[in-house]
Amino acid sequence: MTLMTNLALFDLDHTLIPTDSDHAWGRFMVEHSMVDSESFARDNEQFYADYKAGCLDIHAYLRVVLAPLARYPRRQLDAWHRQFMDEVILPTLRPEALALVAEHRTRGDLCCMITATNSFVTRPIAQAFGIENMIGSEPATVDGDPASDYTGEVTGIPSYREGKIIRTEAWLQSLGKSLSDFDQTWFYSDSLNDIPLLEKVSHPVATNPDDTLRAHAQSRGWRILDLFRST
């Protein structure tokens, strides 16, 4: 087995794809009448604005966005998600982002996608990038069975702001490792919300950064990478 001496962490939304996957999934649910269109669309837009402003109440947000998952069996949800991938996500995959991930994978770096968006939405996207390890906010399932239906609740610590540090450290601990075990560590992110984890790695990369993160990166001398113009 290859000894991985470097670690590469990737945010997803507006970092590897030029859109927000959770916001897009919310719109998809509205368009396909999976949720009450008026109230959910209003909440979806407000939560998205709060996230961009750095003032999102992550627990209130997760209560709203995970509740619809409890209304349908997994088979139906999985079918909808395949349609979502085909119609919404796969057309957004950019060669620049795919090449960035491929570069780290080719070097043998341990790669992980870490996102505040829930893992139901994001795990197939990580797979599309060839990233085997994925940390997302975890929707709870009936009796804790990962293959059973969703309850509409969240389990564990959401991977948001400082929660990304906690979840990353817990994942590495499960592998018998810590951040300090790697020669070099990267984290690619677009968001001011990810400054806590960016501060923890040896190579923080502000990727398609929002204005706040761009200014912070410039003041710290961090690398700024503009892969594409986000939408």
> Among all residues, which ones are annotated catalytic?
11, 13
Rounded distance, CA 165 to CA 4, Å? 20
What residue type is 165 in one-letter code? I
Could you tell me the two tokens for 208?
A: 């398609």
Best CA proximity match to 51, nearest among 192, 229, 216 = 192
> Residue 126: which residues within 8 A CB-CB, separation 6 or more?
12, 113, 132, 133, 134
Quick one: CA dihedral 146, 147, 148, 149, positive or negative? positive
Q: Please, are residues 13 and 20 in contact by the beta-carbon 8 Å criterion?
A: yes
Rounded distance, CA 118 to CA 22, Å? 8
Best CA proximity match to 188, nearest among 225, 160, 155, 217 = 225
Q: Please, are residues 109 and 182 in contact by the beta-carbon 8 Å criterion?
A: no
